[in-house]
Structure 1
Amino acid sequence: MASKQGVEQGVVSWSEAVRVYTRPQVITMLFLGFAAGLPLLLVFSTLTAWLRDVDISRSTIGFFGWIGITYSIKVIWAPVVDRLKLPLLTRSLGQRRSWMLVGQFGVMAGLVAMVLSDPQVSLVSIALSALLVAFSSSTQDIAIDAFRIESAVDEYQGAMSASYIFGYRLAMLVAGAGALYIADWSSWDVSYLVMALLMLVGVVTVLLVSEPERHVPDTTEAMELSLKHQLHADQPGRWRRLEAWFVGAVVAPFVEFFRRNGSWALLILAFIGLYRLSDITMGIMANPFYLDLGFTKKEIADIGKVFGFFMTLAGSFLGGLFVVRYGIFRPLLAGAIMVALTNLLFVQLAMVGSDLVWLAVAISGDNLSGGFANAAFVAYLSSMTNRAYTATQYALFSSLMTLPGKFLSGFSGVIVDASNYEVFFSYAAVMGTPAILLSWLLWRHSLAQSRQPNSLKSTLP
């Protein structure tokens, strides 16, 4: 793409790059990123802290990690969000804004339902309410991703993503440290009610912005028509119309991806699914681990959330800088190695015990490496996405990105109870090995393809 080539060749000056962040579309993504990031920790690490604080067993807490699988299977309903029009709402707000609004109200309803439930009396109610939050949040994510890509040309997508990530991380700080502070000062019920009210940031943003225009290239339309003809979905009749919709919304994005990447498509999907396996596996047990070591909720909030927030931003900045300087694959490999190795810092923390210095060291290494790796990984995912099918293809990538880790994280409490935290974090470090190997393999393949004539190159970036 022209924009990617411009960055690689250093055509865009620093002043021009900075001015991109003043564009209304880019500023909008800051607030939408906040709305997208707020619910995540409320059904993940903050929820596990709440459950542990009321003496729910670690094995039970571990199984709550499966709620996060909702984010990993959103590709299933992404085509619906992409093309199904909502009665009344779509006509007045547009396709993207209407689905964002529905997702935001769903998150608020789920959080209020959690406040009205007691985990010591009915864990099922808490689980179902958290599931509603996760489903609504992931639906909002699908719509926001599509809105982001359709709101600006390719040249501005990097700034759009950066603004989104900043808002997302800020929301995670609020839902992490902020929720812990409020719970320590008042109660978990008050904390979650405040979080529900903060979702109004996203609601107001959706009501103020404009719906982006959608442009489908002629080549995309031609491919869809060809597929519909081959599958006999272009014939008259009610069921044929439904089949034609399914082919265009679901089949075409996947066909395009596999045609473009050929025999490497499955390996790329495996890599996407395994890259974040290590950090997601350990993430579910982080807060219970800190509490079991004897750290207070305030100490966890001060170091784990506030300090960790700035370390993540620093890692993201360095990751983006290295991608511009060295391309995608070397930072991608470096990030995978860093994430795996920094899990060993938690092994040392488990051996040392309640030591604030080692807590800061472990969290610094983990968040710095996580931010670095995530910046490189987002750049890779963006390079693999066809703009014509961004909503569905990006949902596929982001689903695969977390699914294996979310599944394995469900057994994290069982591993800790059967052994100890040292064994668990060592296991999490080993889980990073596949990402390291596949990063290296894709990098070497990319180098080999770059040496071939253009007519023989694969479509890998």
Structure 2
Amino acid sequence: MAATSSGATVPQGRKFRMRDLFEDARVIQMLALGFSSGLPLLLVLGTFTLRLAQSQIDIKAIGLFSYVAMPYSLKFLWAPTIDRLDVPFLAKRLGRRRAWMVTTQIATALAMVLMAFSDPTNSLALLGLGAFLVAFCAATQDVVIDGWRIEAAGTDMQGILAATSNLGYRFGLILAGAGALYIAAYGGWTLAYLIMAASMSIGLVAALFAGRYDRKRETVEAAEPPKRASAMDRMRRAVFEPLTELHGRMGNALFAVLLLVALYRMPDFISGVMANPLYIKLGYDLPQIATIVKLVGIWVGIAGGFAGGWAISRFGMFPALVTGAFIAAASHLSMAWLSTGEPELWRLAVTVSIESLCGSFAGIALITYMSSLTTPGYAATQYALFSSLYALPGKLVAGMSGFVVAAYGYPAFFTMTAAVGIPVVALCFAVGRVPERAKASVATASGNPVEAPEISPTGIPAATARAQT
């Protein structure tokens, strides 16, 4: 049994009920907070690269500008600070979590305003600074919202809140993708970014009305050794012990596992930066891109997520992991095919559908795999390591993608990204079953069964539904 915020007890792991949407305010609040998490992402990635491409910015520069989104991959570096420091003035009135949410949401909106009034042709550096500030503030907001979600509910509600958050996140992506492009097509980029900045008020209102769930620091300090542990001791327990536990459980296979995590989505991260410039070069206009890529693509991606969750439940994690690695990389050949033809809408729809379906399937498989690698007690730190690692190498390499396109052209570039999938599939066969073997040995030694990750209604592991961003 688990306690709810009202003090009642409910069975752990209970299924989602439609009346939860109306009876529990946390569900609606999580929907709005998920929206404010998803909204900024495309404004510094896909929508941002479209704005640059439409302004005739050099393809090499567009590739380099993908680095402004690096805070999303490095947020684990300053995440511990969020639990240690209070926002002056606001923390006493709103609580630590809510104060940080309000602060980061306002800061994100102000950075969007800076982007709105920065012209790529005349103020490219200022626009890049605005994009970096949006990414930094939004990534920090994600850390705070994750912390609020975990502390706001017991295990009985985590699946529901994670699924609801993911739904809100998708709504944010749709507005920042299709919505921003439609507005830009008819009202200009300044208006589009100003409306996006105003839309952050949805999350702001949710943060102000959200419950005050802050774990007391005294409980953390009480768990520390007597006489106050040194900073080095706290660092060792917080960082090194989870890593030592991973190596002790997996042995040297851990290094191959980390390599697999780092490479699994690399083809998607590399090719994604050049997709929007390709659409502009072929002659597709903003309303067409908004409809096919940002609307159809999002919903096909949701279907791909459901397909991935179903495949994991039906066939197991390992077959889904191998399948996802193969189809996600192979789907980039459709981009190579698109780049060699005329700008026909049916060709764009086919390509985007293939890419979105396969990419989302692979994303669910990887999230489930990473979740299965963690151990209770160390799950947060271990998962933070994996979720940062899976995005970081791809984003580092993606910055050079413009130089490859400039030298070899789009067809060769997307063929190269598809070829990256060959060693990834080989690694899947080599270490894809490591979590099963490692946890089986732990279960045998302890005499306790080890459960597979819970799959939420969206097909995503319940505790990590939003991590694929």
| Short-chain TM bin | 0.7 to 0.9
In 1, distance between residues paired with 2:149 and 2:426?
Answer: 32
In 1, distance between residues paired with 2:19 and 2:381?
Answer: 27
Question: Map of 1:359-378 to 2, 5 A cutoff?
Answer: 359-378=348-367
Equivalent residue number for residue 321 of structure 2 = 332
Q: CA deviation at 1:59?
A: 0.8
Question: Map of 1:149-164 to 2, 5 A cutoff?
Answer: 149-164=150-165
Consecutive unaligned residues of structure 1, counting only runs of 5 or more, are: 3-10
C-alpha contact 1:280 1:409 (8 A) present in aligned 2 = yes
SS in 1 for 2:339: helix
Name whichever of 111-120 and 188-197 sits farther off. 111-120
CA RMSD of superposed structures (Å) = 3.2
Q: CA deviation at 1:252?
A: 5.1
Consecutive unaligned residues of structure 2, counting only runs of 5 or more, are: 3-10, 453-469
Summarize the Cα distance change of 1:219–1:191 in structure 2 as closer, same or farther, 3 Å threshold.
closer
Equivalences, count: 439
Question: Map of 1:60-99 to 2, 5 A cutoff?
Answer: 60-99=61-100
Which amino acid is the alignment partner of residue 208 of structure 1? F
What fraction of aligned residue pairs are identical, expressed as a percent?
39
Equivalent residue number for residue 27 of structure 1 = 28
In 2, distance between residues paired with 1:196 and 1:377?
Answer: 32
In 1, distance between residues paired with 2:348 and 2:239?
Answer: 46
In 2, distance between residues paired with 1:371 and 1:64?
Answer: 24
In 1, distance between residues paired with 2:41 and 2:419?
Answer: 26
Summarize the Cα distance change of 1:131–1:390 in structure 2 as closer, same or farther, 3 Å threshold.
farther
Q: CA deviation at 1:86?
A: 2.6
Which amino acid is the alignment partner of residue 201 of structure 1? I
Name whichever of 363-372 and 207-216 sits farther off. 207-216
In 2, distance between residues paired with 1:414 and 1:323?
Answer: 38
* Larger proportion of helix: 1
SS in 1 for 2:50: helix
Equivalent residue number for residue 416 of structure 2 = 427
In 2, distance between residues paired with 1:269 and 1:443?
Answer: 11
1:270 aligns with 2:259: yes
Summarize the Cα distance change of 1:296–1:333 in structure 2 as closer, same or farther, 3 Å threshold.
same
Q: CA deviation at 1:199?
A: 0.7
Could you give the per-residue CA deviations for residues 97-151 of structure 1, whole angstroms, max 9, x where no partner exists? 2222222122111111112222211211111111111111111111122222222
Equivalent residue number for residue 181 of structure 2 = 180
C-alpha contact 1:145 1:391 (8 A) present in aligned 2 = no
Q: CA deviation at 1:166?
A: 1.6
TM-score normalised to structure 2 length: 0.84
Which amino acid is the alignment partner of residue 79 of structure 2? A
C-alpha contact 2:253 2:431 (8 A) present in aligned 1 = no
Equivalent residue number for residue 198 of structure 2 = 197
Q: CA deviation at 1:296?
A: 1.1
Equivalent residue number for residue 210 of structure 2 = 209
Could you give the per-residue CA deviations for residues 334-354 of structure 1, whole angstroms, max 9, x where no partner exists? 222111111111111112231
TM-score normalised to structure 1 length: 0.86
Summarize the Cα distance change of 1:99–1:268 in structure 2 as closer, same or farther, 3 Å threshold.
farther
1:381 aligns with 2:370: yes
1:411 aligns with 2:400: yes
Summarize the Cα distance change of 1:146–1:328 in structure 2 as closer, same or farther, 3 Å threshold.
farther
Name whichever of 323-332 and 414-423 sits farther off. 323-332
Question: Map of 1:96-245 to 2, 5 A cutoff?
Answer: 96-212=97-213, 214=215, 225=225, 234=228, 240=230, 242-243=231-232
Equivalent position to 1:454, from 444, 448, 457: 444
In 2, distance between residues paired with 1:219 and 1:146?
Answer: 15
C-alpha contact 1:79 1:392 (8 A) present in aligned 2 = no
SS in 2 for 1:352: coil
Name whichever of 70-79 and 142-151 sits farther off. 142-151
Could you give the per-residue CA deviations for residues 414-435 of structure 1, whole angstroms, max 9, x where no partner exists? 1111011101111111223343
SS in 2 for 1:351: coil
Could you give the per-residue CA deviations for residues 4-53 of structure 1, whole angstroms, max 9, x where no partner exists? xxxxxxx999x934458634434332211111111111011111111111
Equivalent residue number for residue 301 of structure 1 = 290
Summarize the Cα distance change of 1:98–1:140 in structure 2 as closer, same or farther, 3 Å threshold.
same
Equivalent residue number for residue 288 of structure 1 = 277
Could you give the per-residue CA deviations for residues 193-235 of structure 1, whole angstroms, max 9, x where no partner exists? 110011111111111111335499x99976x64xxx9xxx946
C-alpha contact 1:142 1:391 (8 A) present in aligned 2 = no
Could you give the per-residue CA deviations for residues 149-170 of structure 1, whole angstroms, max 9, x where no partner exists? 2223334333322222221121
Q: CA deviation at 1:361?
A: 0.7
